[in-house]
Amino acid sequence: MSTAGTAKKIVGTFIIPVIVFLILEGLCLSKGEHIITNAKSFDNFIVYVAIVMITTIALSINLNSGRFDFSLGSMAALSAIIGAKISYAIFGGGKGSALCMLLVTIVAGLLLGLISGSIYVLLKIPPIITSLGVTLIYEGVMYTITDGKYLMTEVQNSSMAGFVGTWIYAAIIIVLVLVLTIVLFDHTRFGFDYNALKSGQKVSVNTGIKEVKNALICYTICGGLMGLVGFFNAARNTTINGGQLNFGSIAIMFTAFLPMFIGSYISRYSNEKVGFLLAAICMSMLNSTFAVFSNEITASMQSIINAVLLVVFLIYLNNEHLLRKIFTK
Amino acid sequence: MKQRVTKVLGLLLAGVMTLGMLTACGGKNGDTEGGKDTSSASKETVKIGVLVADVSGEEAQGFRSYYEKYIASNYNVEFTYTDALESAEDEKSAIEKFASQGCKAIISLSGSDRAQQIETCEQYGVYYAVASGVLEDEQFETYKGYEYFVGQVGPSNATEFEAGKAMGEFFKNQGTKTVAIYGAFIPNPMHVYRLAGTIVGLGDTYGGTDDMNGIIGQIFQDQTLDLSKVEGDTEVVAYLQGYGDTTTDELNAAIQKSPEAFLSVGMATTFFTQSLNEAGIAFSDIDSFTQANGDAIENGKLTYLAGKYSSSIGPVFALVMNAVNGNVIRDDEGNAVSISQGYLVATDKATFDEYYVSDNGDSPIYDKATLDSIIGDNVTYADVKALVESK
């Protein structure tokens, strides 16, 4: 590859995070602070990157293949509840609780994902409808297990606090998830089939690719990833809301829309998963800036700002060719 | 063959009916099973509906345990609880459901729209009482003459204000210069009054005033605490309220501002104990005396707790039982009863234990013997008031 080509890739990959950093750091400096104010805020920063990146990857796996999955949030919450209940029953909140919950939550997530995928495959109705049904079922199960209460005793212990009390564990999980997903989706037979199906479903099926098997694996991986998200959310919030009925759990996945579009843009210049990581870093910088301005910008205003940014970015993506024409005249 | 079958069936039916009659005659009036009062065996179990907004908090669970485990095992009553009620509409439909299920009375621990709750109970002819809180003064004046409104027993609004003020003063007297505040569920009146008191206790003004009514009016209007309006001795570096998807971010933002103390007007001990302990920030709450809060005082950073005890909702049950049994107690002017309860304060484990141990499990402060002194046909307003004020 030419030097110019490499330079273009590097610039294309990092331009959004750099611009976001400069703008947000400038805003924070105007208040005499920085995006990262102290060690605690750095811990929060990395944990948030992990949550957003993993949710974004999970959302994109099925969405890239035209399967909109509303059940991601309910999978995260239900798997976390299962993990919390089992780990508390074994360790009673003592040493090893967090590791046990992490493992059980991932396994529960994988199973829930597989069930969700199986329902889609068996019913053969549009995935958006299937996922709505699955969401209601999972939320109902959550409500039954918890009596609609917040789960607190099971997740409030020093083991769980220790997990999100440092950036190290979150960073390790970020690296592991990145490596695993890159290997799975870019360097295995499953990944090649997935990419082929994504590009041309009918042709791929005609060439012998087993679409059903591929879809089931996708749903299962999504479930496992959302299990991880459920674990992080439980550790970070120190509660799990068991009373999320009537699609209350969907909000968990909405944090991933803006980073998914940003990541997709960055993926023109680098690996898609790396794009999602950089997009998650951008979102985390925004979240940390909101923390600096928390007395001026309320939580509801933050939601509005996030929504406006999403719309602005979509407008840009849809009119990119027009903008290019204007600026190259 | 057919005749023989008919005969056998007839004999079986006759046998079953005879056994049934023998069983029905077997009980005696006045039998006591495990301490349960069945003195009037002919009386059916009194069904009482309980409206709750919080199903997870330590205080809410303590109240529930007292009613369902202690009261239900000592009196001929059955409590039915709602799920977490989130709105006035939820409360109204819960009351309608209770009425259709044959509930004779409703005790409310939910405050989205108490005026509508009273109106709905009046419509359905179901007795209604407020526990662990009170109506706004103007509302009480409006509804105190309603036939089915039995009354309210809980900290008055002035008591809530004083509880917040005492908490603020505690930290101010310790020399605290910067605090973060959790406003719990503003505009819940109870939390508004506590918050106003906290501001005054810290030596601050809100919108230029330190008058209770002046601050209350502004907070109700703002629906939050506007930090730009807070001025005075103690700097409020962060404020958050409610609990939802964004709360963790808001709490983290507050912690990042490194306040010397985190003051809460309710439920911080339920949601934030672990995070605040980890952050090493001294915190306070107006909540209840529970095991978890005891641990937080002993091993964590909980330094001030103003609380109720679980059986403090006993007198409301007594009022309701009297009403259902035909003795609707009225105050001296013939209106619904309104009695204020105070808070107990603990700033160390020894004081905490003093209150916690005395109101626990099978031996609550309002035990059966105590409640029996205010349940009966001849009990008066003066009897109930004297007992509540003595605790």
Q: What is the ipTM of this complex?
A: 0.84
Determine the residue among B225, B274, B290, B293 to mutate to test chain A binding: the one whose Cβ has the most chain A Cβ atoms within 10 Å.
Answer: B274
* pLDDT value, residue B40: 41
Structural domains in chain B, sorted by start: 38-154+310-342+366-390 (3.40.50.2300), 158-308 (3.40.50.2300)
* pLDDT value, residue B62: 86
Beta strands in B230-368 (DSSP E): 230-232, 235-240, 261-264, 282-288, 302-308, 337-340, 344-346
* pLDDT value, residue A200: 86
Are B274 and A156 inside 8 Å of each other by CB? yes
Which residues in chain B touch residue A44, judged by CB atoms under 8 angstroms apart? 252, 256
CB count within 10 Å of CB A283 equals 24
Q: List, for chain B, all residue ranges whose pLDDT scores fall below the cut of 70.
A: 1-43, 358, 361
> Which residues on neighbouring strands pair with residue B288, listed in sequence order?
B308
pLDDT means per 10 residues, chain A with 329 residues, are 83 94 96 89 94 96 91 96 96 91 97 96 91 95 91 90 91 97 95 92 87 95 97 94 87 88 92 95 94 86 88 87 76
* pLDDT value, residue B16: 44
* pLDDT value, residue B84: 87
Determine the residue among B56, B65, B236 to mutate to test chain A binding: the one whose Cβ has the most chain A Cβ atoms within 10 Å.
Answer: B56
* Residue range B251-293, pLDDT digits in tens: 999 998 999 999 999 989 889 999 999 899 999 999 888 888 8
Q: Which amino acid is at A194?
A: Y
Domain boundaries, chain A: 54-250
Q: Would you say B197 and B254 are in contact if contact means Cβ atoms under 8 Å apart?
A: no
* pLDDT value, residue B56: 80
Q: Minimal Cα distance from A250: which residue of B? A: B245
- What whole-number distance in Å separates Cα of residue B39 and Cα of residue A36? 69
* pLDDT value, residue B111: 84
* Residue range B353-368, pLDDT digits in tens: 888 876 776 788 899 9
* pLDDT value, residue B374: 94
- What whole-number distance in Å separates Cα of residue B213 and Cα of residue B138? 13
Q: Is the dihedral of CA B87, B72, B135, B156 positive or negative?
A: negative
- What whole-number distance in Å separates Cα of residue B146 and Cα of residue A250? 44
Are A291 and B253 inside 8 Å of each other by CB? yes
Are A294 and B278 inside 8 Å of each other by CB? no
Longest dimension (CA), chain A: 68
